[in-house]
Amino acid sequence: MKIILAKHSGFCTGVRRAVDTAMNLNPENAYVLGEIIHNETVVKAIRDKGLITVDSLDELPDGCTVVFRSHGVPQNYYGICERRGIKVIDCTCGFVKRTQSIVKEQYAQGKHIVIIGEPAHPEVIGLLGWCDNKATVVSSPDDDFSGFAQKNVCVVCQTTFSEQKFEKIIKNIRKVCEKTVEVFKTICYTTIRRQNEVEELSKKCEAIVVVGGLNSSNTNKLYEIAAKHCKNVLRLSSAESLDITKIKNYKSLGIVSGASTPDEQTREVLFKMAENTEVKATNPTMDDVVAKIDNESKFRRGQTVQATISQATAEGLQILLPFSKKEVALSKDELDCEDYNAADYASKIGETIELLVVELKPSLKLSQKMIKVLQQEEALSAEIEGGKEFSVVCTGSNKGGLVAQFGTYSVFVPAKEIRPGFVKDLAKYEGKTLRLRAIEIKRNGHKKEIIASQRVILQEERDAKDAARLEKENEFFANIQVGDVVEGKVERATGFGAFVSVNGFDCLAHISDLSWTGVSNVTDVLEIGKSYEFIVLKIDPENKKVSIGYKQLQPQPWDLADGKYNEGDVIHGKVVRIVPFGAFVEVEKGIDGLVHVSQITHERIETPATVLNVGDEVDAKIIAVDTVARKMNLSIKALLPENERRKHGDENEGEEAAPKRGGRAPRRAVNSEDELSTWNEGSIGGTSIADLLANAKNNK
Mean residue pLDDT across the chain: 83
Please report the pLDDT score of residue 700 as a whole number. 37
Please report the pLDDT score of residue 272 as a whole number. 75
Q: Which of 123, 197, 264, 334 is catalytic?
A: 123
Q: Name which of 20-29, 172-181, 263-272 the model is least confident about.
A: 263-272
Give the DSSP H or E segment for 631.
Answer: strand 631-635
* pLDDT bucket at 156, cuts 50 / 70 / 90: very high
Contacts 24+ apart (CB under 8 A), 234-239: 234/207, 234/208, 234/209, 234/210, 235/210, 236/209, 236/210, 236/211, 236/212, 236/269, 237/40, 237/211, 237/212, 237/213, 238/41, 238/211, 238/265, 238/268, 238/269, 239/265, 239/268, 239/269, 239/271, 239/272
Q: What's the CA gap between 595 and 33, in Å, rounded? A: 100
Please report the pLDDT score of residue 298 as a whole number. 55
How many angstroms separate the Cα of 260 from the Cα of each of 68, 208, 213, 219, 445? 16, 18, 7, 8, 20
Q: What is the pLDDT of residues 524-576, one digit of tens each?
A: 899 999 999 999 999 998 898 999 999 888 888 888 888 889 999 999 999 99
Mean pLDDT of 688-694: 44
Q: What is the DSSP letter of 8?
A: S
Report the chain's C-alpha Rg in angstroms.
48
Please report the pLDDT score of residue 249 as a whole number. 82
Stronger pLDDT, 62 or 281, i.e. the higher one:
62
Residue 684: strand, helix, or coil: strand
Q: Minimal CA–CA distance to 579: which of 593, 562, 597?
A: 597
Which residues of 483-569 form beta strands (DSSP E)? Answer: 485-494, 497-502, 505-510, 531-540, 545-549
Q: What's the CA gap between 410 and 402, in Å, rounded? A: 11
Please report the pLDDT score of residue 443 as a whole number. 78
Please report the pLDDT score of residue 693 as a whole number. 43
Please report the pLDDT score of residue 657 as a whole number. 39
CB neighbourhood size of 62 (10 A): 9
- The pTM for the full model equals 0.43
For the cut 90, the answer to whether the pLDDT of residue 304 exceeds it is no
Q: At what angle do helices 369-385 and 94-108 cross, to 10 degrees?
A: 10
For the cut 50, the answer to whether the pLDDT of residue 310 exceeds it is yes
Residue 132: strand, helix, or coil: coil
Which among 69-83, 140-154, 595-609 has the top mean pLDDT? 69-83
For the cut 80, the answer to whether the pLDDT of residue 692 exceeds it is no
How many angstroms separate the Cα of 398 from the Cα of each of 405, 409, 676? 15, 18, 86
Q: Name which of 41-45, 292-296, 619-623 the model is least confident about.
A: 292-296
For the cut 60, the answer to whether the pLDDT of residue 673 exceeds it is no
Q: What is the pLDDT of residues 384-431, one digit of tens each?
A: 888 889 999 999 999 899 999 987 789 999 999 999 999 989 999 999
The answer to whether 603 and 649 have CB atoms below 8 angstroms apart is no
Q: Position 194: which residue type? A: R
Q: What is the pLDDT of residues 15-70, one digit of tens each?
A: 878 887 888 788 899 999 998 887 887 888 888 888 999 999 999 999 999 999 99
Mean pLDDT of 672-684: 40
| Catalytic annotation present for 542 | no
The answer to whether 105 and 98 have CB atoms below 8 angstroms apart is no
Which among 263-267, 346-350, 636-640 has the top mean pLDDT? 636-640
Q: What is the DSSP letter of 558?
A: G
For the cut 50, the answer to whether the pLDDT of residue 667 exceeds it is no
Q: What's the CA gap between 69 and 353, in Å, rounded? A: 24
Q: Minimal CA–CA distance to 687: which of 673, 667, 669?
A: 667
Please report the pLDDT score of residue 484 as a whole number. 92
For the cut 80, the answer to whether the pLDDT of residue 627 exceeds it is yes
Q: What's the CA gap between 539 and 204, in Å, rounded? A: 79
Please report the pLDDT score of residue 617 as a whole number. 92
Please report the pLDDT score of residue 322 as a whole number. 63
For the cut 50, the answer to whether the pLDDT of residue 664 exceeds it is no
For the cut 70, the answer to whether the pLDDT of residue 685 exceeds it is no
Q: What is the pLDDT of residues 492-509, one digit of tens each?
A: 999 999 999 998 899 999
Q: What is the pLDDT of residues 568-599, one digit of tens each?
A: 999 999 999 999 999 999 998 888 999 999 99
Strands in 112-116's sheet, in edge-to-edge order, are 136-138, 112-116, 153-157, 181-183
Residue 493: strand, helix, or coil: strand
Q: What is the DSSP letter of 656?
A: P
